[in-house]
Structure formats: C-alpha cells, structure tokens
Structure 1
Amino acid sequence: MPSTPIAAVVLAAGMGTRMKSDLHKVLHPLAGRPMLFHLLDSVAALDPERQVVVAGARREQVESALAGLDVKLVTQEPQLGTGHAVLQAKGVLAGFDGDVLILYGDVPLVTTATMRRMLDRLHEADSPAAVVLGFRPTDPLAYGRVIAGPDGIIEKMVEYKDATDAERAVDLCNSGLMAVRSTDLFGLLARVGNSNAAGEYYLPDIVMLAAADGRRSAVVETGADEVAGVNSRSELALVEAEWQRRRRLAAMTDGVTLIAPETVWFSHDTAVGRDVVVEPNVVFGPGVQVEDGVVIHAFSHLEGATVKSGAKVGPYARLRPGAVIGEKARVGNFVEVKAATLGAGAKANHLSYIGDASVGANANIGAGTITCNYDGFLKYRTEIGAGAFIGSNSALVAPVKIGDGAVVGAGSVVTMDVEADALAVARARQANMPGWAAKFRATMAERKKAKG
C-alpha cells in the first residue's frame, strides 16, 4: 500500500424516493447502525486525511448524524449527476495532494480490502488515470457497462441509456466506485459535459476524457454482493441479509456454534467469545458482549447486556440494557432482566422480572418473582444478597434490601428490608374451613336446578 494520502468522497445526495421514508436513505439502519456509518468505518481503516459527504435533500439529518466526526458535509443542489456531485467536494479538497476514493453512501458493504485493491491498482507500473470497481451481476439490468480487455484496461465506459445493443450485452458493470488522483480528478470533471439521454454530468465520463488525452484507466472486479445498493426497503432487506451472512460466518470462524445460523441476527457491535453456543432464533441488539462458554438458548433477545463466562440464558429470555449476567448464572425461560446485575451462580429460572436490581452470588429467584421498581414517577432499586432465596410469586417493592442468606416465603409482598439469614413472610394467614366446598357445590347445584 503506497504512503500516498487518501481522501474519501461519499455521495449521498439522492432523494431516496423509493424508500418512502422521512428518514434520509443513508441513515436507515443496517445491523442496528446507519448504513452510512458502515461505509465510513471501512474508510476509517485506511486512515484517510480527509472525508467528505455530499448531501442534498434532508441535508440537516445527515449533518446531525455526522456531528462530532471528522467528516465534512457539502451540498449538491440541484442534483445534476454523479460528476456534478463530486465537484461539490472541490473546496474541501483544496490543497489535498493524494488519492481520492469516490464511494456511495447507499452502497455500505464495500470492504476496506477492496478499497485497498483499488488504490494499489492506481499505483501500479502503468499508472492508470482512474481505477473503476466493476462487478458482474446475475442480471445486469440498467447498470452502466465497462468494456475492458483481458488485462483490465478499459476501452470504453457507457451508461445503459446511451449504450448500443452490443454494449448492453456485456456483463461487466460499473459500480460507480472509483479511485483517482486528486491532481487528475477535478481537471477531468471540469471537462465533463451533459450531452446524454439524461442531461446529467456523469462521473464515469472522466475515463473516456482521460483516454482522449492518451491515458488509460483500469477496472478491478468484486462480487455483486459487495456493491449492492439500497434504493428501496426490499433492497435494504437484501443488504441486511448479506451483512448477517458475513457476520454469522465470522462468528463461526471465531469459534461460536450457531445451531441454525440463518435464524440468528447480530448487531453491528455484537461481541461473542469462544465456545459460545447460540440456539435458533436469537436476536442480538446493539451493545451486547458475550464471554466464553455461554449458552444462549432459543428465542432469546439481548440488547445492551453483558453475559459472563459459563452463564446460560433462555429459552425465551429477554436481556435489556444494563443487564449483567454473572459467571455461571442462569436466566431461564420468560425472564426479563433490565438494569440489573446477577452475581456468579445466581438463578432466575422462570417467569420473572428483575429490573433496577442487584442479585448476589448464588441467590435463587423463584418463579413469578418481580421487582416492583416503578411507582409511576420514579425508579427504585432492589438489592438481594448473596445466597438469598426468594420464594415463588413474590413481589419485592423497591426500594428494598434482602440480606445475605435470607429467605422470602412464596407469595410474599415485601415492602421492608429483610435482614441477613431471616425469614420474611408477607401474606395473609391461611384459613381452612372443613366441608365448606361440599356445601357450596350442593347449594349452587340447587340454584341451577331451580332456574331450569
């Protein structure tokens, strides 16, 4: 990789009308994060000197999303084609002497490795004026075509609308992504005209303008999945599916067992350790860390949670933000944990809600137990000590503390602190009335008979 400085120009000025959304197209989430940020992450691995995003409609949304990042935003108004869009970055790139990557905010899956290949090709011995990223889709549709020799040297580039039947028969298509030296880029763009079927200024025209100057350009190829664009909700779903496919493969390569890979959904920042087993239909939302040796049983949903080594979660468990499940702890079926810590070896096996709480090591939370953490206005905490035993169907009304080793009798509503090793029973005394049920049935049977 040459040491030449790198700049990235990301085009994001399209209207995105087919998304039928009030949200800017490039801000629609992919694996829980705006698709634009997936692309910018790949660019960041190249350590770029400058980054520019070209926006148009709903510019303010993109500006807000980029706040605090070292990325400049420029506006293309009106939208007069891709060549015109890149020209809007000229001011930001003034004085920059290096290589310029031209990317698209709605083509988020392009890898750093592919960007490097484009830049490397730009610096090979034949010194091409531009490097175009090409691909061969199953159905070329209306993509622009790249006519190139076996050595990858481009003979002609043409938009579909302007192509002949013979040119449309070529299956090598232009992704729109390109690498060009800054010393060449804007001089060539200044010469691009709009005498074409759409009346627009096409970025690919710089290849033929360079050819007219006696300089050749080259194409490097990648798979169609990597340059899949998003123009509609259905295309977003396809790109999401491809991202998930890659992530599942990476997880399994790193030592994670996915019982039914196609049913597991990761977030952009999911971190999963070795020897983790993930059963079918598990969803990871943003902010999840899973340590080694964990088992996530089927139909569980985790978001903003940390699961320590050896713990077991699910099936049908929900871990919400702030949940920390300790080593070898157990969160069972239909248990919800939010902003709460379960200590090592603690168990909440059935039908419980643990919110705004701390549960000590080896404590046992009985089925149907809830922490009553909200009074309609404020949240309060529940503290359960190590080795405590909470009987089934108990309600712990926060703020309340259950001491180490304490026992809460089943069905209790606990409103006061319980000291260590004490028994707390907070329910009405049971009264048995011999023969009452038989008399009740006889009476009701006579009433029913009387009514006919």
Structure 2
Amino acid sequence: MPVAAVILAAGLGTRMRSALPKAMHPVAGRPMINHLVATCEQVFDRIVVVVGPGMPALEKAVAPHATVVQAERLGTGHAARMAAPLLRDFDGDVAVLYADNPLITLPTIRRLVARRAGAGEGSEAAARRGAPGMALLAMRPADPGRYGRVVQDEAGDVARIVEWADASEAERAIGLCNAGVVCAPAQDLFRWLDAVGNDNAKGEYYLTDIVGLAVADGRRVVAEEAEEAELAGANSRAELALLEAGMQARLRAAAMAGGATLVAPETVFLSWDTRLGQDVTIGPNVVFGPGVAVEDEVEIRAFSHLEGCTVRSGAIIGPFARLRPGTEVGRGAHVGNFVELKAATLAEGAKANHLTYLGDVTVGAGANIGAGTITCNYDGLHKHRTEIGAGAFIGSDTALVAPVRVGDRALVAAGSVITEDVPDDALAVARGRQATKPGRGFKGKKKDAS
C-alpha cells in the first residue's frame, strides 16, 4: 500500500524571537525540517509540506517535495487539512508529522505505518478485529507535565485523548502521553479533519480531535510507543538547545560505534554529515561544521575547527587549527597550532606547523611551511592562487604575494616578501640588507628612571 506524509511546518517560532521560520532553525548544521524530510524519504511515496505565507527559504529547502500554504494559522487540524487538495484522492495511508521533530527515527516511523496496516497487533483478539482505523505515536515521558494523556480501553485500544486541563486526577496519573503524530487512510483522515470544530478557548482546529471522531465512527485507534527523546519538539531557543544536545549525543555514539575515539565526547560537536574513518582520534573541544570527511588513522587535536574539508589518512591536525571550506589535507600531512587553511591543498607529507595562514594555495608533497607564513591571496578585488612545489622550504615570517609560484625543492629565506616566481631548486631572498653599527648598543648609556 502506498503511504504519504504531511509535514506541518508553518510555525513562526514566536517564542524564539526570530525572523527565521521555526522549521529552518538548524540542528547539527542542518535545518530541522531537512532532518525529518530525509527520514521520511525512506518511508513515504509522497511528501507534502505545509508552510506559512512568505516562507520561500523553507519551500526551497524541502524541494522537490510539494508545498501548500496555510494562509491563516488556525491550528494543527487546519494545517493538516491544507494538504487535502493534493492527497484527498490518494489511495493509501497518510501520516501527519511535525517539522520540529527532527530526532524521530526511521524505525519509529516504519513501526507507525506498519501498525496502521495491522502489523504488530498485541493479541490474537486485536488481530481478529482487523487493521486499526488510525495509529498514533505515544510516549512515556519522565515528567508527563501538561501533555495530553492517552486513555485506553480494556482491550488496549485508544478510547480518547484528554488534554491536561480537562483531565481528572485519575487521568492525569496516566503515564502514556500523546505525541501528536497520526497515520490513517487518506479518505478517512481528511473526512475527519473536515469535521473538526473550533469550539475551544483558542478557537483553533486541533489535529488531536480526529481521534475522538475515529472512535465515534467505530474505528479502532491504536497507540505505538516511542522514546520521549525522539518526539521532542522546539518552541523556544532553550528547547532548540535540547534538540541539539540530543542530536549530538546520537552522532557521537554513532561515531564511536564506527571506530573513532572521542577523548572527551561531550565536548566534541559534529555536523549531521560528518564522516569519520576508523582509528580516528579526536581530542577535546573539536567542532565540525558541515561537509567534513576524515579518513582512517587521523588525529585531530584539541580546539580545532573543521568545515567543508577533507583530511586524508594519517594526517595530524591541531591543536588550535582551523580548516575552512575547500581544503584538502593529504596523507600524513601536518597542520599545527594556530594554522588556518582556506581553499588549500596540502599534498602528502606537507607540513605547516605554526602560526600560518594558507589561503587559495597548493602545497606540494613534503613541502615545509615555516612559522608566520602567509599567502597574500586578495588584492582588494580578486582572489589569487599560490603554488608551492614539492619539497620546497618556506622560511619563517614569509609573505607570498599571489599570484606566485615557488618551485620544487626551492628555498625561501626567512622574512622574505615574495612577489615573483621562484624557479625549481632556487634560493630566494627578498628582504632589506642588515646594517650593524659597532658600539651603538646599550654600553655607556643610562636608562630613564621611569
């Protein structure tokens, strides 16, 4: 049976005090909506995202999936109903999910869909009653707080969902809470959504009201339980930070399970797409931005920052190194403390160990870059490249004014400002001549008392 997803993403995130739509706030370097979409793409045949007016960035982020606009924000039931023109005639099940649930996992969504189809029924009696008319996700949070409670009948089916404000003391003692995610046949879902009213304090149409309508229709409703951490949402910056913490815990665990050593895992921050090889060692307080691939047996030392780069096997990075987008560090190369690389390629065995900026540069195999070296890659209008040959040695405190080439095995004297190409095997000295004045030192001179 085909299945479709409706993702509710029209929220403004008012409590976040942000011009950015709530669904676009990043978690582990990627908008939270894209985490959910990526998971849904592995389950659903069609995806429709409900957005608010004036959200072109969100529409672009979820492309090529269809979007519909909820012009007036009249509640979750109203938002889900916006997808009806695209899915009312869909011959299959439709699940409704929330954009601010980026931690929901693939197995959980698959269990929800399978449960609606009749798989995983807990008893022979339930199985004999046929497939449920609706399945919803529920959780047992450590602190149920003001969550809506899932009230079950004697057979274990969902009898109703009662909001905390309307619940009796006995109902508030129920530990099973509603997570808001539902799955039902398309025709039934949209028929129930059409029947939802707004006779409540907020005058809104609530998605949860369809549970009562399904039960009133004589349809079974079942609850599929999932972990609380998967179903966490974000309506504030503080809750967004909790989502980030949850995602980081998941990414760190996966990295270590894959063969990487994280010396102080709680201090390492990974991106959603960070790729780490086996026997990689990562020191404390290392941050990965998007687009980083690290091969086997690499050591990344403390307080380094990597983004949009590739690090080949056996390289050593840091401490206090910064690798910016477009950088590739070759096999066995060394990038040391307070070295910044941008759009730089270091070939195998090249070394830049101290206090250096290498931007828009190619460094040949085995070359050694002395402390304080900079590539002067920007002339105020355009970026220019520097090429340093294999086996070259660049002395400390050298400025390489691009565009310029230093040849293979060439030697550049410390303190030089290189503005012209240096041939292979040549020595380049570009500095003022030293003048020494005998007897002009401190001898015989009095220092100020101050």
Pick the TM interval, shorter chain: over 0.9
Query: Do the aligned partners of residues 119 and 391 (structure 1) sit closer, same or farther apart at CA in structure 2, a change above 3 Å counting?
Result: same
Q: How many residues align?
A: 440
Name which of 39, 42, 60 aligns with 1:42. 39
Matched, 1:51 2:80: no
* Alignment of 1:63 onto 2:59: yes
Question: Which residue of structure 2 aligns with residue 297 of structure 1?
Answer: 301
Structure 1 residue 56: deviation in Å? Answer: 2.3
Residue in 2 that maps onto 1:368: 372
Query: 1:364 is matched by which residue type in structure 2?
Result: N
Q: Aligned letter for 1:340?
A: A
Following superposition, the deviation at residue 161 of structure 1 comes to 3.0
Find the partner of 2:100 among 83, 91, 106. Answer: 106
Q: Residue 98 and residue 328 in structure 1: after superposition, are their counterparts in 2 closer, same or farther (change >3 A)?
A: same
Residues 310 and 257 of structure 1: CA distance in aligned 2, closer, same or farther (over 3 Å): same
Q: 1:131 aligns with which of 135, 152, 158?
A: 135
The CA deviation at 1:414 is 0.9
Q: CA deviation at 1:193?
A: 2.3
Q: Which of residues 11, 18, 21 in structure 2 aligns to 1:21? A: 18
In the TM superposition, what are the counterparts of 1:100-179 in structure 2 within 5 Å?
A: 100-124=94-118, 125=127, 126-149=130-153, 152-179=156-183
Match of 1:84?
Answer: 78
Question: How far apart in 2 are the matches of 1:235 and 1:331?
Answer: 37
Equivalent pair of 2:134/2:219 in contact (CA under 8 Å): no
Map 1:284-433; keep pairs closer than 5 Å. 284-433=288-437
What secondary structure does 1:386 align onto?
Answer: coil
Q: Are 1:162 and 1:197, in contact at CA under 8 Å, matched by a contact in 2?
A: no
Instruction: Find out whether 1:247 has 2:251 as its counterpart.
Output: yes
Q: How far is 1:62 from its partner? A: 2.1
> 3-state DSSP class of the match of 2:115?
helix
Contact 2:11 2:21 in 1 (8 A): no
Corresponding position of 2:29: 32
Q: Which moved more, 1:189-198 or 1:124-133?
A: 189-198
Shift of 1:435: 1.7
Cα distance in structure 1, aligned partners of 2:286 and 2:182: 39
Compare 308-317 and 158-167 and name the one that shifted more: 158-167
Secondary structure of 2:159's counterpart equals strand
Structure 1 SS opposite 2:50 = strand
Cα displacement (A) at 1:57? 4.8
Equivalent residue letter for 1:223: E
Shift of residue 159, structure 1, vs aligned partner: 2.2
Q: Compute the displacement of 1:311 (Å).
A: 0.4
**Which amino acid is 2:152 matched to?**
A
> Out of 60, 66, 73, which is 1:72 matched to?
66
Which residue in 1 is equivalent to 2:124? none
Structure 2 residue matching 1:134: 3-state secondary structure: strand
Q: In structure 2, how many angstroms separate the alpha carbons of the residues matched to 1:373 and 1:213?
A: 71
Equivalents in 2 of 1:158, 1:305: separation in Å? 51
Q: CA deviation at 1:144?
A: 1.3
Say whether the 8 Å CA contact 2:376–2:399 is kept in structure 1: yes
Following superposition of structure 1 onto structure 2, how do residues 260-279 of structure 1 map, counting pairs within 5 Å?
A: 260-279=264-283
The letter for the 1-side match of 2:390 is A
Deviates more, 1:187-196 or 1:295-304: 187-196
Query: Per-residue deviation at 1:158?
Result: 1.7
State the distance in 2 between where 1:335 and 1:18 align. 40
**Taking structure 1 as reference, are residues 282 and 81 closer, same or farther at Cα in structure 2, changes over 3 Å only?**
same
Give 1:83's aligned amino acid: G
Structure 1, residues 257-277: CA drift from partner, whole Å, max 9, x if none? 000000000111111111100
Decide whether the 8 Å contact of 2:89 with 2:187 is kept in 1: no
**Structure 2 length normalisation: TM-score?**
0.94
Paired with 2:55 and 2:322, the residues of 1 have a C-alpha distance of 37
Moved more, 178-187 or 36-45: 178-187
Q: Which deviates more, 203-212 or 382-391?
A: 203-212
Q: Report if aligned partners of 1:133, 1:175 keep a CA contact under 8 Å in 2.
A: yes
**What is the CA-CA distance between 1:54 and the residue it aligns to?**
1.2
Counterpart mapping for 1:214-233 below 5 A: 214-233=218-237
What is the CA distance between 1:201 and its match in structure 2?
2.0
- Measure the CA separation in 2 of the matches of 1:379 and 1:194: 60
- What CA distance in whole angstroms lies between the structure 2 residues aligned with 1:430 and 1:150? 96
Measured on the aligned residues, the alpha-carbon RMSD in Å equals 1.6
- CA deviation vs aligned residue, 1:292-339 (integer Å, no higher than 9, x gap): 110000000000111001101000000001110000000000000000
Identity of aligned residues (%): 58
> Counterpart of 1:234?
238
- Runs of 5+ in structure 2 lacking a partner? 119-126
Task: Report the Cα distance in structure 2 between the residues aligned to 1:190 and 1:219, rounded to whole angstroms.
Answer: 23
Find the aligned partners of 1:199 and 1:161 in 2 and give their Cα distance. 16
Matches of 2:147 and 2:7, distance apart in 1: 19
Amino acid at match of 1:366: G
The one-letter amino acid paired with 2:16 is M
Amino acid at match of 2:52: G
1:168-189: CA deviations, max 9, x gaps?
2212111111111113211222
Between the aligned partners of 2:55 and 2:386, the Cα distance in structure 1 is 46
Verify the 8 A CA contact 1:24 1:58 in the aligned structure 2: no
